Amino acid sequence: MKIINSLKYFIPLFSLFCWNVFALSKKEKSEKIEELLAKSSDNFINLNEKYYDLLINTPRDYHTILLATATNPQFKCEPCRELLPEFLNVANSWDPNDKRVYFAILDYQNGKNVFKQLKIQNVPNILHFRPSDGVVKPDFYDLPRNGLGAEELIQFVIKKTGVEFELQRPTDYTQYIYYGFIVVALIISIKIVIQYFKEIIVNKRSWMILTVSIIFLMISGFMWVHIRHPPNSGVSHGNVEFFISGFQQQYAVESQIILIIYILIAFSFLYLSDKVQKVKNAHLLRITVYVVLAILLVCFSLILRIFFIKSQAYPFKLLF
Amino acid sequence: MAVSAVNLQSLKKSKDLLCIVILALIAILAFISRLLSVVRFESVIHEFDPWFNYRATQYLVNEGFYKFLTWFDQVSWYPLGRVVGGTLYPGIMITSGIIYKVLHFFNFNIDIRHICVFLGPVFAGLTSIATYLLTSEVCTKSAGLFAAAFVAIAPGYISRSVAGSYDNEAISIFLLMITFYFWVKSVKTGSSFLAACTALFYFYMVSAWGGYIFIINLIPLHVFVLLLMGRYSKRLYVAYSTFYVLGTIGSMQIPFVGFQPATTAEHMAALGTFGLLQIVAFASFCRDQLPSESFKTLLKRALIVIFIIGITGFIVLQRLHIIDPWTGRLYSLFDTGYAKKHIPIIASVSEHQPTAWPSFFFDLHILVPMFPVGVYFAFKKLTDENVFIILYSFTAAYFAGVMVRLMLTLTPIVCVTAGICMSYLFDNFLGYKKSKATVVKVEETEEVLSGNESTPESPVSPKINSPKINSPKMTNSPKIHNKLKKSEHNSQKQDNSESPSITFEIKLIVTLSLLLVFCMYVWHCTWVTSNAYSSPSIVLASRNRDGSQHIIDDFREAYYWLRQNSAEDAKIMSWWDYGYQLAGMTNRTTLVDNNTWNNTHIATVGRMLASNEENAYELLRKHDVDYALVMFGGAIGYSGDDINKFLWMIRISENVYPEQVKEENFYNSRGEYRVDDSVSPTLRDSIMFKMSFYRFKDLYPNNQAFDRVRGTTVYSKPIQLTIMDEVYSSENLLVRIYKIKKPDNIGRSLQSAAVFNSGRRRKRNRKSRKYKQQKIDD
C-alpha cells in the first residue's frame, strides 16, 4: 500500500518532468525535421537509423507514412522502383507546410537494424505510425492486394490519418505534345498505309486471315490465358506436365497445342470441302484425300485423348 | 426439254417434302433429347433463376396481366421490397401465360408448372427450325439441314434449355435466330415487311432477355461494315431504317427498358448508324442527280468529318452524363480485368469467368474446328448476308472467350458455319455422278426461281449499284467481287460437269469416316446432356456402390420443413443464391435473392455471416431475421456449399464495409483458407463457420470428423452457438436451419445467459464442470 501511495505523488512529478524534457527537445526536433525535409526536392524525409529514432520513436503529434524500400540495384527490386514515383505522387499531394503527416523513405542500406526491429522481411513495404509517446506497432499497407497505384495508397493514408486530401498528379505538358505528335503521326501513317497497302486493306484475303486467326485464338482458350496468366506448364512426379487435370483450368501451353490440333483438323476439313475440287490428277487426289483423312482422324482422336486427361469421366475415344 | 422439266418439277417437290420431313424430325429430336432431366428426376423447375420466373408466372396467371405489370413484391428484399413489374423481362412469363390461356380455352387443364417445365424443349425445336431458315438463307438448304441438326443437340445450347430450366435464355436463342433470319432476308430483298418482322421479333427478344443488346449492336455493325465496304444499297436503307425505328419504339414499351434506347451508351451505336445511313442515302441520292468528281471528294470528306464529330459528340455527352455510360457487366467484356477490381458481385458469378478450351470442346465438340472453315466459306462468297455471318462469328467468338455464359450466343453461329462447311464437303463426296448433274441443275433452277421471286441480289442489284458507289476507293471491291462470283460460278459448273476423279471408293471411305465422327458427336452430346446438363441442381443424384441411382433431396426437404413449420411472416436470412428458391418453395420472406439489384443489402447479409456472434446478433435483430439458413456440403462432399462461397461473400461485403470485414483476417497465419485446427480466429468466430460446423463433430466417433469438400479434418474443439438454436438439418446435413433466439428476458446478453445456464448445470456434475469451463474459456 505504501508503494502505491508514494506512486500517487510520483506520477504527476514524473509526467511534469517528462513534459519538460520533451518540450525542450520538441523544438529542436521539429527544426531538425524541417531541415531534413528541405534536403529533398520532394515532400519526404530521407531517413537513416538515427533520424528514424528521432522521427518515429520519440513522442510526437503527427502521423508518419514510411516507405521501406531497397533501391540498390543489387537487390533487383522491380516493384520498389515502380512504387517510388507513386509514393512521391501521394507525398507531393500533401501540403508540405501542414505538420500533421510526414512522409519518409527508409532505404535498406541506411537502416538494416530498423528493418530487423520492424521484422520487415520483404520490400517494398509501406507503414503507418500513429501519433504516440513512444514506440508503436506500425500498420502495414497491404501491397499485394492493393497494388502499386497511388489512388489506392492515398485511400490508405486518408483512412489512417483521417485527413482528407486529394491526389494531385503533376501535369505533364510533354505528355500533351507527345499525344499530339502521335495523333499527327497516326494520321500521316494512315494516309501512307492507305496509299501503299491499299491492296492489302481492301483485299478480302487479309481480312479473312485476320478474322479466322482471331477466332482460332478464342476457341483454343487464349483469352483465358490472357486473363488468368497460368503457368506455362507444370511438373508432376518429376516430369514436365503439359495438361492439368480439371475442367476450368489449363496451362498456357495447352492452348498452343490445342490450337495446332484445331488448325490441322480445320485444314483437313477445308481440303475435303473446297480444295479437293481443284485437284485434277486422279492418283494425287486419292493419296491426298487419304492422307488428309488420316490427319483428321488422328487429330480428332488426339483431342479426345487430351480431353480425357482434363475430365477423367469422359468415356469416348477413337483411335487411342 | 419439257419432259426433263416435269421431272425436275417432281424432283424438286419430293426434295421439298423430304426437307420438311427431315426438319420436323430434327425439331422433334431437339425436343426429346431435352427430356432426359424429366425422365431421370421428375418434372421440376431447376436451379435458381427459374424459380423466380416460375413464381412470377404463377402470379401472372393468377392475378392477371395488369396487376403483374405493377407488382410490388414485399416478400423479397426485406425490408426494402422489390418493384418486380418494372425490373424484369416479362417475355418468358407472358409466353407461358398465353400458352396456358390458349390451352385452357380448349379445355386442356394443364398445370402451369408443366408449361414452364416444357417451354425450353419446345422452343429448342423452334430454334432448330429458325437455324435452318437462317442457314438456308445464307447458303443452301442442305447446309440449313446440317445446321439445324447440329443445333438441335449441341450441348452449348442444351445447357440452357433442358426441360425444367425455365429461364430467359430458353426462349431467347430462338428469338435471336429468327430475328437474324428476318434481318438477313430483309437486307437481301429490301422488303420493309420483312424488316418489320425483324423489328417485331426484336421487340419480343427485348421483352425476354437482356442479351438483346447483342442484336441492337450486331445489326448496326453489319450495316456500318457494309457501308465501309461501299455496299450501300436501297435494300439496306429500307431494311435498317424500318427495323431501327419500329424496333426502338417497340423496345421502349418494355417497362424495364423504358427510355434506355435514347439515353444509354449501349444503344448509341444503333442510333449513330441510323444517322449515318440517312446521310449516306441522301448523299447517294444527290450524286445520282449531280454526277461530278469534285462533289464526290467533297462528299467523302464531309462523311469523315461527320463521323468524327459524331464520335467526339458521343464521348462528350457521355462525360457530361447525358448519356449513361456502359453498365459494368458490359464494360467487363472489353476491359477484362475490370470486374474483379471494381464489381466483385459480377466477378463472383461462375458464369462470368473466362472460358478455358475444355469448355469450348465440351459444348461444341467437333464443331469447334469446323467453325473457322465455315467462316472461310463465308469470306469466299462475300455477299451481304455472309458479311453478317462473319461479323456474328467474330463477335460471338470473342464474347464467348471472355465469358463462359456467352457460349450460348456462340453455339448457334457455330452450328450455322459448321453446317455450311459440311454441306460443301458432302457436295463433293456424296451422290452418284449421274444424278449429281441433275441435282446441280435442280439447285441452279431453284436459285433462279427463288431469285426471281425474292432475291434480285445476284443478277440485278450489283449492276444498279456499281455506278452509285460512294468513294472511288471502294468501287473496286464489288466489281472484283462480281467478277469473282462469276468466275466462281463458272468454275463450279466446270468442276461439277467434269467432276474428274473422285471415285466411288474415295467417296465411301470419306463418308464413312465422317459418319463415324458425327456418331461421336451424337454420343458426346447425349452423354453431356445426360451427365452434365440434366441435373436440376435442386435435386442431386449420386450413385450407390452397386451403380443404382441415389437421389439427394435435401433442399426440397428443408424448404418444405420451413414451409410447414415457420410462421407465415417469418424472415429467412441466407446467401443470395438461395433467395429465389426460398421464395418459390417456402413462400416466406427473404432478405436478398438472385436479382442482385442492391449491392449494399447483399453486402450487409455477407457482413452478418462474417461477423462474430455478438455483432451478428445485433444485425440480425435489426433485420428482424427469424431463421438463418446455410448450405453445408462437408458431410456428403457437395462442393458448391457456403463455406466455399464464403470468400466471395467476404469480398463483396468488404467492398461496402471495408472497416468491419477484412478478407485477410479470414486466412490463417500461413495465408491459407483452412477449416481444420489451423483455422484463423476470425473465421472460427464467424457465424457462417459456426452454423456450418455446429455439432458436425458429433456425427463421427472420437474426433474423426472429416470435411469431404475441403478434404481436411475439421476444427477439433466444440463449437458454441449462443444466439441461435439449431432447428433443422436435412438428411445429409446439406441444409442447416437455425432459429434466431429472442433477446434474453432479463436483459442479459445471450452469451452471458448461455454461460450462466451451463454454469448451473455445473453444480450437478463436478466432473463435467471442469470440462465445460475449459470449453467456455476456449
Q: Does the CB of B520 have a partner CB in chain A at under 8 Å?
A: yes
A211 touches chain B (CB under 8 A): yes
Asked whether residue B564 falls in the same domain as residue B658, the answer is: yes
For residues B218 and B263, membership in a common domain is answered with yes
Mean predicted confidence (pLDDT) in B45-63: 90
pLDDT tens, residue by residue, B163-217: 988 988 889 999 999 999 999 999 999 999 999 999 999 999 999 998 898 999 9
The pLDDT assigned to B249 comes to 94
Helix, coil or strand: residue B383: coil
A197 vs chain B: nearest CA distance in angstroms?
12
Q: Does B240 touch chain A (CB under 8 A)?
A: no
Is position B396 within any domain? Answer: no
pLDDT at B93 over 90: yes
Let me know whether B295 and B261 are in one domain: yes
pLDDT of residue B759: 73
Do B613 and B750 share a domain, yes or no? no
Q: How far is B493 from chain A (nearest CA, A)?
A: 11
Domain co-membership, A157 together with A17? yes
* Confidence at residue B776, expressed as pLDDT on a 0 to 100 scale: 46
> For B496, which residue in chain A has the nearest alpha carbon?
A277
Q: Name the pLDDT band for B459 (thresholds 50, 70, 90).
A: very low
pLDDT-above-70 percentage for chain B: 84
Residues A15 and A133 occupy one common structural domain: yes
Q: Is residue A191 part of a domain?
A: no
Mutation target to probe the A interface, by most A beta carbons within 10 A, among B351, B357, B413, B519 is: B357
Those of residues 129-158 in A touching chain B at CB distance below 8 A are 142, 145
Residue ranges making up the domain that contains A119 = 2-161
Q: Which of B267, B302, B337 is the last residue of a domain?
A: B302
Same-domain check for residues B272 and B215? yes
- Do B709 and B748 lie in one domain? The reply is no
Is pLDDT of B2 > 60?
no
Question: Helices B91-105 and B112-138, interaxial angle, to 10°?
Answer: 110
Distances (CA, A) of B479 to B190, B231, B597: 21, 11, 53
Give the pLDDT confidence score for residue B474 in this predicted structure.
Answer: 38
pLDDT in tens, B474-518: 334 444 344 434 444 444 444 444 455 678 888 889 999 999 999
If asked whether residues B197 and B285 sit together in one domain, one would say yes
Residue B464 lies in a domain: no
* Mutation to test the B interface, candidates A205, A249, A272, most B Cβ within 10 Å: A272
Shared domain check, A207 and A127: no
Predicted confidence at residue B96, as pLDDT, reads 94
B200 lies within 8 A of chain A by CB: no
* A152 and A213 housed in the same domain: no
Q: What is the pLDDT of residues B395-430, one digit of tens each?
A: 999 989 888 888 999 999 999 999 999 999 988 887
- Say what the pLDDT of residue B107 is: 92
With an 8 Å Cβ cutoff, is A296 touching chain B? yes
CATH number, domain with residue B713: 3.40.50.12610
Q: Which residues of chain B does A272 touch, with a Cβ-Cβ cutoff of 8 Å?
A: 425, 428-429, 510
A16 in a domain, yes or no? yes
Q: Do A145 and B664 touch (CB under 8 A)?
A: yes
Cβ distance A225 to A250 under 8 Å?
yes
Question: Do both A117 and A211 map to the same domain?
Answer: no
What would the mean pLDDT of B117-124 be, rounded to a whole number?
93
Chain A residues touching B523 at Cβ < 8 A: 316
Rounded to the nearest integer, the mean pLDDT of chain A is 80
Same domain, A124 and A263: no
The predicted model gives B354-363 an average pLDDT of 90
Q: Do A273 and B428 touch (CB under 8 A)?
A: yes
Kindly report whether the peptide bond that precedes residue B358 is cis, defined as omega within 30 degrees of 0: no
pLDDT in tens, B657-676: 888 888 888 888 877 888 88
For residues B660 and B730, membership in a common domain is answered with: yes
Same domain, A118 and A40: yes
Q: Name the pLDDT band for B339 (thresholds 50, 70, 90).
A: low
Domain extent, residue B695, equals 552-742
For residue A211, tell me if it sits in a domain.
yes
**Tens digit of pLDDT for each residue in B559-597?**
999 999 988 889 999 988 888 888 888 888 899 888 777
Domain boundary among B274, B302, B330: B302
- Mean pLDDT score across all residues of chain B: 82
pLDDT score of A292: 93
Beta strands A101-107 and A45-47, pairing class:
parallel
Distances (CA, A) of A234 to A196, A240, A259, A296: 46, 6, 19, 29
Q: Which of B251, B283, B302 is the last residue of a domain?
A: B302
Asked if A295 reaches chain B (Cβ–Cβ under 8 Å), the answer is no
Examine residue A319 and state whether it is found in any structural domain, yes or no. Answer: no
In a domain, B580, yes or no: yes
**Could you tell me how many residues make up chain B?**
778
Enclosing H/E stretch for A298: helix A282-310
User: What CATH number did the domain enclosing A129 receive?
Assistant: 3.40.30.10
Specify whether B670 is located in the same domain as B756: no
Residues in B 399-418 with any Cβ partner in A closer than 8 A: 400-402
**Yes or no, beta carbons of A208 and B495 under 8 Å apart:** no
Give residue B340's pLDDT band: very low, low, confident or very high (50, 70, 90).
Answer: low
CB proximity A292 to B under 8 Å: no
State whether B749 and B700 are in the same domain.
Answer: no
- Torsion region of A61: left, alpha or beta (phi above 0 gives left; psi -120 to 50 gives alpha): alpha
Other CB atoms within 10 A of residue B100 CB: 20
Are A141 and A224 members of one domain?
no
Given a cut of 70, the residues of chain A with pLDDT beneath it are: 1-26, 170-172
In a domain, B116, yes or no: no
- Does the residue A72 lie in any domain? yes
A282/B336 Cβ within 8 A: no
Same domain, B769 and B715: no
In a domain, B766, yes or no: yes
| Pair B384, B226: CB distance under 8 Å | yes
Residues A148 and A285 in one domain: no
Query: Integer distance in angstroms from the first to the last C-alpha of chain B?
Result: 101
A139 and A38 housed in the same domain: yes
* A19 and A69 both lie in a single domain: yes
> For residue B49, how many C-alpha atoms fall within 13 Å in the half-sphere facing its CB?
14
Strands B724-729 and B627-631, bridge-based pairing: unpaired
Percent of chain B residues past pLDDT 90, beyond the cut: 32
Show Cβ contacts of residue A44 under 8 Å, excluding neighbours closer than 6 positions. Answer: A37, A67, A87, A88, A91, A103, A104, A105
With respect to residue A85, please indicate whether it lies within any of the assigned structural domains.
Answer: yes
User: For the segment A34-85, what is each residue's pLDDT rounded down to a tens digit?
Assistant: 777 777 777 788 877 777 777 777 778 888 888 888 877 777 777 787 788 8
Is B84 in a helix, a strand, or coil?
coil
Tell me: pLDDT of B52 over 80.
yes
- The reply to whether B479 falls in a domain is no
Total tally of structural domains belonging to chain A:
2
Using DSSP, state whether A306 is helix, strand or coil. helix
Q: Which residues pair with A140 in a beta bridge?
A: A127
Please count the structural domains in chain B: 3
Q: Which of B354, B379, B517 comes nearest A208 by C-beta?
A: B379
Torsion of CA B11, B16, B19, B21, to 10 degrees: -110
Residue B512 falls within a domain, yes or no? no
User: Are residues B568 and B596 both part of a single domain?
Assistant: yes
